Amino acid sequence: MPVITVREALRQALHELMQDERVFIIGEDIGHYGSTYGVTAGFLEQYGAERIRDAPIAEAGIVGLAIGAALVGMRPIAEIMSVNFSLLAFDQLINHAAKIYSMFGGQMHVPMVLRTTNGWTQLSATHSQSFDVMFAHVPGLKVVAPATPYDMKGLLRASVADPDPVIFIEHTLMYTVKGEVPDEPYEVPIGRSALVREGRHATVVTYSRMVHLSLQAAEVLSREGIEVEIVDLRTLRPLDMSLAIESFKRTGRGVVVTEDWQSFGTSAEIAARLYEYGFDYLDAPITRVNFREVPMPYSKNLELKTVITVDRIANAIRDALK
Amino acid sequence: MPDVTMPKMGFDMQEGTIVRWLRQIGDEVRRGEPIAEIETDKVTIEIEAFDSGVLREIVVAAGQTVPVNAVIARLGDDAPSPPAAPAAAAVEQPSSPPAAPSVPAVAVAPPAVDDREVRASPLARRIARDHGLPLAGIAGTGPLGRVVRADVEQALTARPAAAPSAVAAPTPAVVAAPTPAVVAAPTPAVVAAPTPAVAAPTPVAASPRGDLVPLTSMRRTIARVTSQSWQQAPHFMLTMEVDMGACLALRGSINAGRPREAQIGVNDMIVKAAARALRGFPMLNASYSDAGIELHHDVNVSIAVALDAGLVAPVITGCQSRSLGAISRESKRLVALAREGKLGAADLQGGTFTVSNLGMYGVSEFVAIITVPQAAILAVGAVRRVPAFRDDSDEVIARQVMNLTLSADHRITDGAEAARFLGEVRRSLEQPLELLVD
């Protein structure tokens, strides 16, 4: 099976999807510039300006347009280059995209996909945030955050095929991550988690880029005789905790790793589910690894103190095993 | 509000049990006044308030065990506001706590420990519940002493041996058997005993077979120390008969002119004789470690004192340079403190040899368990009047004899050396004037 990057996996998925006449892509700098992370490089030349639409810097407009197009039968893929800019489109996403199906008695679906990115690396406080929890909080949205090239391709296809609005969250530090991806089209179903490592001492529940860091931490701990099991949630809404809880019932120790602030964050929801459904199996408090709770510093040294490292994950697992 | 915390009463104290509160909620407390009586694994002692104020809240009820530095009560300023939510335990306190209890404080049985009050993980709780195992007796190794799965699993593994005596104890054979019997045939007795807790997943406390008595700190310590010694120190035992006639005669003449409270006891003479002999046998006044055998300069003799709730062994320090009278006085002081439950941590540390005497109970001889890391313990039996041959003829005469049984750690000393030591103890008891000259 070919080994390709996340970027290449997304490009493959988009090329396949563009075979469907209903699909078009809209976003800032996605056409002439080929998109900030190069995912749609060459698409404008191949598919033309009607289906690869460069948008003005007007996020609410981009999302509003996508919603309207979806309502009349199109399959829009809107791109907001950084999730930080999606704040400008929140009213469209939350009060319109997420509500139209329910508020109009199920007469209309909104089959749009919003591709966007989390990420940091000296982008400073306003451009280094993660709002997974804000999307995942809202009934009516689906939220997908894959970690591997295989899941990126399969879940992007499933997202476009889905009748409801899907927030598809990528990560700026993951585009070069490599993995096996079949050439042919396939879908990975939304709302299914995956067991990515087996172990018996502790259960790590995570998603997106933190899957990779958790795997590295697991290798470090393996040399100490600690074997952790890792569950990649892949989708935040609907949230599939079945594998995580099953694993937790075997280990009795849980660690949740999410790349956002801890308070009221995704890790809080995940830990709460472990407590609720795994209570009788709990052998220690669940530990969590998150961003330090400060606006992201620009200074490189301070930034590295704020974000999650392999060491911090390994230490949290050791703590959970005390 | 100043907090009253569980004090650290010795370098190795990790937790303490509130025996009882001496003050009630609403009482004014002055700095330095006793506020509660606590029990550590070594001692029962009154603790004093470090601040003045009104006792506002009793956080830890009598009978509960908490780690050192845990908040056990809170003091408020002396404004007479209504007490905040009195703990249930405070209500149970007697209205006028006696200043000096005549009963040994350790004898106060704490209420049965509810499993819900044990810090344990839900998983540990579930496994314990499924096996009908009470959590109260399990030592937690998790943070803050939390009982975790591994602790319960370990307790379950250890249970087949522990259950009969600790839980139902319907077979007196196991409980009453002296140590040699248990050693000689431990398996039949233990295996024969039913282990109801294993078979029936009902809480043992509710079993119609008997009551579950929670472990006191003292019981726990005795259990730990004796089993550790029995498992780690290879004991060998020697018994020797001593003619106590001269010794008793000497004691009689010494005591004839002395007030009752200053009378010399037989045990004092045995301690003195042992201390004298130990000076010539450094290996019996020593401690074993993997690094080597430590020979102690001082002869510090622990004397075993039976209490209602168990056993303590306070230490008579510097016996190598104490006169018989000085040993006797120190012994009386320590025994009195022990019976009042007021021994301090310092009274219990540093022993290098132990004398244990069950003669007053009519025991003619017995085997004692070494107090590791000491090298040996001397078990003293009763003085008995027996018919014996006179040394130089076949004439039968009455003699007053006593058996001494030495248990010694074979890692440190051997049979012949221990026998010579025991012979030296006998010699000075049979020629007791030596006990007076140094």
Q: Domain locations in chain A?
A: 3-180, 194-320
Cα A258 from Cα A207, distance rounded (Å): 7
**What confidence category does residue B185 fall into, taking pLDDT thresholds of 50, 70 and 90?**
very low
CB of A282 within 8 Å of a chain B CB? The answer is yes
Cα B268 from Cα B265, distance rounded (Å): 5
The ipTM of this complex is: 0.73
What is the per-residue pLDDT across B27-62, written as a single tens digit (0 to 9) for each?
888 888 888 888 887 777 888 888 888 888 888 888
For residue A282, list chain B residues with Cβ-Cβ distance below 8 A. 121-123
For residue B148, list chain A residues with Cβ-Cβ distance below 8 A. 283-284
**In chain B, which among 136-195 make CB contacts under 8 A with chain A?**
142-143, 146, 148-149
Look at residue A49 in the predicted model and tell me its pLDDT.
Answer: 96
CA distance B142 to chain A (A): 6
Q: What is the mean pLDDT of residues B79-97?
A: 42
Cα B312 from Cα B96, distance rounded (Å): 29
Residue A303's Cβ-count burial label (10 Å; 0-12, 13-18, 19+) is middle
Annotated catalytic residue A184:
no
For residue A322, list chain B residues with Cβ-Cβ distance below 8 A. 142-143
Whether B201 has a pLDDT exceeding 80, the answer reads no
Residues B124, A322: C-beta atoms closer than 8 Å: no
- Report the range of poorest mean pLDDT among A3-17, A237-251, B163-177, B222-236: B163-177
Q: What is the mean pLDDT of residues B231-254?
A: 94
Look at residue B181 in the predicted model and tell me its pLDDT.
Answer: 32
What is the per-residue pLDDT across B267-304, written as a single tens digit (0 to 9) for each?
999 999 999 999 999 999 999 988 899 999 999 999 99
Q: Are B20 and B36 in contact (CB under 8 A)?
A: yes
Look at residue B144 in the predicted model and tell me its pLDDT.
Answer: 83
**In chain B, which among 272-301 make CB contacts under 8 A with chain A?**
none
What is the per-residue pLDDT across B367-423, written as a single tens digit (0 to 9) for each?
999 998 999 999 999 999 999 998 888 899 999 999 999 999 999 999 999 999 999
* Chain B residue with the nearest C-alpha to that of A275: B122
Look at residue B45 in the predicted model and tell me its pLDDT.
Answer: 81
Residues B121, A282: C-beta atoms closer than 8 Å: yes
Residues A252, B123: C-beta atoms closer than 8 Å: yes
Look at residue B32 in the predicted model and tell me its pLDDT.
Answer: 81
Look at residue B64 in the predicted model and tell me its pLDDT.
Answer: 85
**Between A and B, how many residue pairs show a Cβ–Cβ distance under 8 A?**
28
Residues A284, B124: C-beta atoms closer than 8 Å: no
* Chain B residue with the nearest C-alpha to that of A322: B142
pTM: 0.52
Whether B11 has a pLDDT exceeding 70, the answer reads no
Look at residue B113 in the predicted model and tell me its pLDDT.
Answer: 61
Specify whether the backbone of A167 is left (phi greater than 0), alpha (psi in -120 to 50) or beta: beta
Residues A281, B122: C-beta atoms closer than 8 Å: yes
Look at residue A3 in the predicted model and tell me its pLDDT.
Answer: 97
**Which of A279, A283, A322 has its CB closest to that of B149?**
A283
Q: Which of A206-215, B109-118, B343-352 tops mean pLDDT?
A: A206-215
Q: Are A147 and A208 in contact (CB under 8 A)?
A: yes
Alpha-carbon Rg for chain B, nearest whole angstrom, is 25
Task: Give the residue from B98, B94, B227 showing the smallest Cα distance to B158.
Answer: B227
Residues B142, A322: C-beta atoms closer than 8 Å: yes
Interhelix angle A242-251/A266-278, rounded to 10 degrees, is 60
Whether B188 has a pLDDT exceeding 50, the answer reads no
Test the A interface: residue of B125, B146, B148 with most A CBs within 10 Å: B148
Catalogue all structural domains in chain B, each as residue range(s) with its CATH number.
3-107 (2.40.50.100), 123-215 (no CATH), 222-437 (3.30.559.10)
What is the per-residue pLDDT across B302-344, written as a single tens digit (0 to 9) for each?
999 998 888 899 999 999 999 999 999 999 999 999 988 888 8
Question: Which stretches of chain A score pLDDT less than 70?
Answer: none
* Chain A residue with the nearest C-alpha to that of B141: A322
**What confidence category does residue B202 fall into, taking pLDDT thresholds of 50, 70 and 90?**
very low
Specify whether the backbone of A44 is left (phi greater than 0), alpha (psi in -120 to 50) or beta: alpha
* Chain B residue with the nearest C-alpha to that of A250: B123
The larger pLDDT score, comparing residue B321 to residue B214, is at B321
Q: Do domains A3-180 and A194-320 have the same CATH topology?
A: yes
**Which of B125, B126, B148 has its CB closest to that of A284?**
B148
* Chain A residue with the nearest C-alpha to that of B152: A283
Specify whether the backbone of A202 is left (phi greater than 0), alpha (psi in -120 to 50) or beta: beta
> Which of the listed CATH numbers 3.40.50.720, 3.30.2350.10, 3.40.50.970, 3.40.50.300 matches domain A3-180?
3.40.50.970
Cβ-proximal residues to B158 (8 Å cutoff; 6+ apart), any chain: none
**Which of A279, A280, A284 has its CB closest to that of B142?**
A284
Residues A284, B122: C-beta atoms closer than 8 Å: no
What is the per-residue pLDDT across B53-69, written as a single tens digit (0 to 9) for each?
888 888 888 888 888 88
What percent of chain B stands above pLDDT 90?
40
Q: Which of A226-235, B89-98, B193-202 tops mean pLDDT?
A: A226-235
Mean model confidence pLDDT for chain B: 80
For residue B146, list chain A residues with Cβ-Cβ distance below 8 A. 284
**In chain B, which among 113-132 make CB contacts under 8 A with chain A?**
121-126
> What is the three-class DSSP state of A80?
strand
Q: Which residues pair with B17 in a beta bridge?
A: B39, B65
Whether B160 has a pLDDT exceeding 80, the answer reads no
Q: Give the pairing type, strands A166-171 and A113-118.
A: parallel
Q: Give the pairing type, strands A52-54 and A23-27.
A: parallel
Determine which one of A109, A127, A137, A201 is catalytic: A127
Determine which one of A59, A79, A229, A259 is catalytic: A59
Q: Are A200 and A229 in contact (CB under 8 A)?
A: yes
Residues B121, A284: C-beta atoms closer than 8 Å: yes
Look at residue B208 in the predicted model and tell me its pLDDT.
Answer: 63
What is the per-residue pLDDT across A275-321, written as a single tens digit (0 to 9) for each?
999 998 999 999 999 999 999 999 999 999 999 999 999 999 999 99
Q: Residue A45 is which amino acid?
A: E
For residue B125, list chain A residues with Cβ-Cβ distance below 8 A. 280
Cα B266 from Cα B435, distance rounded (Å): 12
Residues A280, B123: C-beta atoms closer than 8 Å: yes
The architecture that CATH gives domain A194-320 is 3-Layer(aba) Sandwich (3.40)
Look at residue B12 in the predicted model and tell me its pLDDT.
Answer: 72
Test the B interface: residue of A201, A253, A276, A283 with most B CBs within 10 Å: A283
CA distance B155 to chain A (A): 16
